A = this chain, B = another copy of it.
Amino acid sequence: MTRIELAKKGIITDEVKEVAKEEGISPEMLSQNIAEGKAVITRNVLRHIKPLGIGKGLKTKINANIGTSKDKTDLKEELEKLDIAVQYGADAVMDLSTGGPLTEMRRAVIKHSPLSVGTVPVYEVAIRAIEKYGSIVKITVDDIFDVIEEHAKDGVDFVTVHCGVTMKIVEMLKSGERVLPIVSRGGSILANWMCYHGKENPLYEQFDRLLEIAKKYDLTLSLGDGLRPGCLADATDKYQLLELITIGKLKEIAVSEGVQCIIEGPGHLPLNHVETNIKLQKSICKEAPFYVLGPLVTDCAMGYDHIAAAIGGALAGMYGADFLCYVTPSEHIRLPNKEDVKEGVIASKIAAHAADLAKGLPQAWQRDNKMAEARRNFDWQAQIALSFDPEKVSSMRAERPPLQDEKVCSMCGEFCAIKISRRAVEL
């Protein structure tokens, strides 16, 4: 039986107890939310990692994308990126490799990762089609499902599947109304195939086939947003919403069949669209876990897109997004390097933590309250330990240390407001 099936029968598994304990909620509540498709635990039945809970009542989680591209196929570097993602607190990683030996890469990531691993199988479908047939339009329907099953069999915990990119929407896109019709790689591969063959998206048409594979491995489906806006001008438009409605229907079918789903969302959104997008998703998809890619609150932050994404992600999390996909400083420019991964993970952690504080999660507040106490007490070791990057904080402080008083810092020195005001009001 799958997790949803067990939860529907009221069976509380050890896995549910483990996640509930870590999150500080009751196992019954978590189990109920899993049964209703409002929370998921991502772990392939073949894997022996710590189970990851995502969704209603749980802490905001973050994902780090790693993986090669055709222009950069260094497996060792990608595994180092994985280590960095783990070190700085990512909750999951996605291997989005599109270059080099993909199978080897995927298996290595799964083997090395203590975190849930996600993939986008259609990338590999496309790459094999180019190798085998010379073109991505020559993909066969069986190719798609074969690769998905292969990923599941290798132990992948969740897969992005762009089931909502339907023929109807792709036809509508031809109107040219969108500035950037499709910015999802998986979505564009499928749309290209659909246009060439004049056929419906196999992931939509044969959704039952996908559910069969997912059930076997208790694989979580991340229903991809192939029509997410790729610029602010395209935000919250009819294409995005029509896809969301389709995904919402498919999610209901999946949950009734015992398959866990998370729903992917934008993308690029002006800050004043964020609340609306979260509320729409939660309403249309009946509180399914929401996995946002950013959202980036400006198109212009190249080189600093991790900051634009932290702004959007924090707000999204406050309004109920459950899972934030990190964005690195190299987004829109090139494949990230290790430093980019670190910057991306930390920015995303800050956003998720800010969201959890805003939602009033006790675990999040404990951390900030400890930091405030440490500041009050001039306890630098505690402050450093409570930061997101203790090594950086230590070295920054060492670079320009206070010269006369170890209690303060070189910003204010003897004019430390905490020191002066405590002297005043504690007289």
Residues of A near any B CB (own CB < 8 A): 69-72, 98-99, 123, 126, 136, 170, 173-174, 176, 179-185, 187-189, 191-192, 194-196, 230-234, 270-272, 297-304, 306-308, 310-311, 314-315, 318, 329-337, 346-347, 350-351, 353-355, 357-359, 365, 367-369, 371-373, 375-376, 383-384, 386-389, 392-393, 396-397, 399-404, 409-418, 420-427
Q: Smallest Cβ distance from A182 to chain B, in angstroms?
A: 3
A420 in contact with B188 (CB, 8 Å): yes
Set of chain B residues within 8 Å of A373, measured between Cβ atoms? 179
Nearest-CB residue, chain B, relative to A329? B396
**How far does the alpha carbon of A188 sit from the alpha carbon of B233 in the complex, in Å?**
47
Is the Cβ of A417 less than 8 Å from the Cβ of B188? yes
Contact A415 B368 (CB under 8 A): no
Q: Which residue, A373, A401, A414, A424, has most C-beta atoms of chain B within 10 A?
A: A424
Contact B368 A333 (CB under 8 A): no
Residues of B within 8 A of A347 (CB): 304, 307
Q: Which of B72, B310, B359, B383 lies in contact with A310, CB distance below 8 A?
A: B310
Q: How many copies does the complex hold?
A: 2
B314→A311 contact, CB < 8 A: yes
Given contacts A98-B412, A375-B230, contact A187 B350 (CB under 8 A): no
Alpha-carbon separation in the docked complex, A188 to B383 (Å): 22
Distance between A155 CB and nearest chain B CB, rounded to angstroms: 24
Instruction: Give Cα distance in the complex from A271 to B274, angstroms.
Output: 14
A367 CB contacts on chain B under 8 angstroms: 300
Contacts of A232 in B (CB 8 A): 357, 365, 368-369, 372
- A187 vs B420: C-alpha distance when bound (angstroms): 10
Given A70-B414, A179-B373, are A387 and B424 neighbors across the interface (CB < 8 Å)? no
Residue pair B371, A318 in contact (C-beta under 8 Å): no
Q: Return the contact of A350 from the options B98, B188, B298, B334 (Cβ within 8 A).
A: B298
Q: How far is the CA of A173 from the CA of B425 in the complex (A)?
A: 6
Other-chain contact of A412, B181, B185, B307 (Cβ < 8 Å) = B185
- A145: min CB distance to chain B, Å: 20
Give 15 pairs: A residue, B residue, CB < 8 Å, sorted on A: A69-B415, A70-B403, A174-B426, A179-B373, A182-B420, A182-B425, A188-B421, A233-B368, A270-B354, A298-B353, A300-B353, A301-B387, A301-B388, A304-B389, A330-B411
Question: CB-CB < 8 A to A351: which residues of B?
Answer: 311
CB A168 to nearest CB in B, in angstroms, measures 13
Q: Is the CB of A389 within 8 A of B310?
A: no
With A170-B424, A357-B232, A357-B297 in contact, do A417 and B187 touch (Cβ < 8 Å)? yes
Asked if A98 and B413 sit within 8 Å, CB to CB, the answer is yes
Cβ-defined partner of A311 (8 Å) among B310, B337, B375, B412: B310
B311 & A350 in contact (Cβ 8 Å cutoff): yes
Question: With A333-B393, A413-B69 given, is the CB distance from A371 to B418 under 8 Å?
Answer: no
CB distance from A363 to the nearest CB of B (A): 12
A369→B354 CA distance, assembly (Å): 30
Q: What residue of chain B has the Cβ atom nearest to residue A384's Cβ? A: B302
The 4 closest A-B pairs by CB, nearest first: A182-B421, A231-B372, A271-B358, A188-B420
A34 to B163, CA, bound (A): 55
Contact present for A425 and B70 (CB under 8 Å): no
- Min Cβ gap A274→B in Å is 9
Contact indicator A195/B333 (Cβ below 8 Å): no
Contacts of A310 in B (CB 8 A): 307, 310-311
Query: When the two chains form their complex, are residues A424 and B69 in contact, meaning their CB atoms are under 8 A apart?
Result: no
Distance of A98 Cα from B69 Cα, bound (Å):
51
**Chain B minimum-CB-distance residue to A311:** B314
